Copies of this chain bind each other. A is one copy, B any other.
Amino acid sequence: MSSRTVPDIVIGRLPQYLRTLQRMADENRIITSSQELAERLGISAAQIRKDLSLFGEFGKQGTGYDIHFLIEKLRSILKVDRVWDIVVVGVGDIGSAIARYQGFTNRGFRVAMLFDKDPVKIGTQVGNFIVQDSRNLVEAVQRAGIKIGMITVPSSEAQSVAEQLIKGGVRAILNYAPISLNVPPYVRVQYIDPVIHLQRMTYYLD
């Protein structure tokens, strides 16, 4: 049950379980089953039960899972039973959209700081933030103890921004620049590149 390392592929499914459960809670549902979750997510019920069993026994035979209880368990496992501050570097269209994005609320995150190196942008307001000078990035991130960064600068600058973030203490990076980052093993990186997703689908189109 505990102690053995959980495969990353399982960790990757937990946020999807959580999202679906929270939607069920919004629909005022009280109880669900591995089967119902499976249908809504398009994966097998056995897999959901197996994944959850790696962390404990959260269900009741014959009944299923208490939605609220399972949400709390998953929030705790994923460490989103708190609010993580995020630093956003790069205030172009994507960075601005993220600064204004309402979807972080109640899901464990909030944007805390915005940086850009363009003098025209520094000092302007975007969303609820004043854009700060990238030259102060390392120190400001360090002082605030921020662990999560989002990179929305051009590809040519992404690697250098990543290095600054890491120097400031960031340990998880969500990179919107279409380029692979080189980071030490103690830093996690996730990528968002819409083109990668699109190219994965065109293969199947006529």
In this complex, what residue of B is CB-closest to A84? B202
- By size class, the interface of chain A is 35 or more
Task: Tell whether, in the assembled complex, residue A198 and residue B178 are in contact, meaning their CB atoms are under 8 Å apart.
Answer: no
Q: Which segment, of A62-70, A97-105, A131-139, faces chain B?
A: A97-105
Residue in B171, B192, B198 whose CB lies within 8 Å of A109: B198
Chain B: CB-nearest residue to A199 = B15
Q: Find out whether the CB atom of A179 lies under 8 angstroms from the CB atom of B23.
A: yes
Q: Is the CB of A178 within 8 A of B148?
A: no
- What residues on B are CB-neighbors of A93 within 8 Å? 96-97, 100-101
Q: By the criterion CB–CB under 8 Å, are B147 and A205 in contact? A: yes
A12 on the B face (CB < 8 A) = yes
Choose one: B14, B40, B108; the contact of A195 (CB below 8 Å): B108
Taking the complex as formed, is A34 at the interface, i.e. its CB lies under 8 A from any CB of chain B?
no
Q: How far is the CA of A179 from the CA of B204 in the complex (A)?
A: 23
Task: Tell me, yes or no, whether A113 is within 8 Å of chain B by CB.
Answer: no
Q: Which of A44-52, A73-81, A115-123, A160-168 contacts B (4 or more CB under 8 A)?
A: A73-81
CB distance from A175 to the nearest CB of B (A): 10
B contact residues around A78 at 8 Å (CB): 199, 202-203
Query: A127–B98 Cα gap in the complex (Å)?
Result: 18
Does A29 sit within 8 A of B, measured CB to CB?
no
Which residue of B101, B107, B180 contacts A199 across the interface (Cβ within 8 Å)?
B107
Among B94, B179, B200, the residue within 8 A (CB) of A12 is B200
- 29 example contacts (A-B, Cβ-Cβ < 8 A) are as follows A11-B204, A15-B195, A15-B196, A19-B193, A19-B195, A23-B179, A41-B180, A77-B203, A78-B199, A78-B203, A79-B202, A84-B198, A84-B205, A86-B198, A93-B97, A93-B100, A93-B101, A101-B194, A103-B193, A103-B195, A104-B195, A109-B198, A148-B202, A150-B194, A172-B198, A172-B201, A174-B201, A188-B201, A190-B201
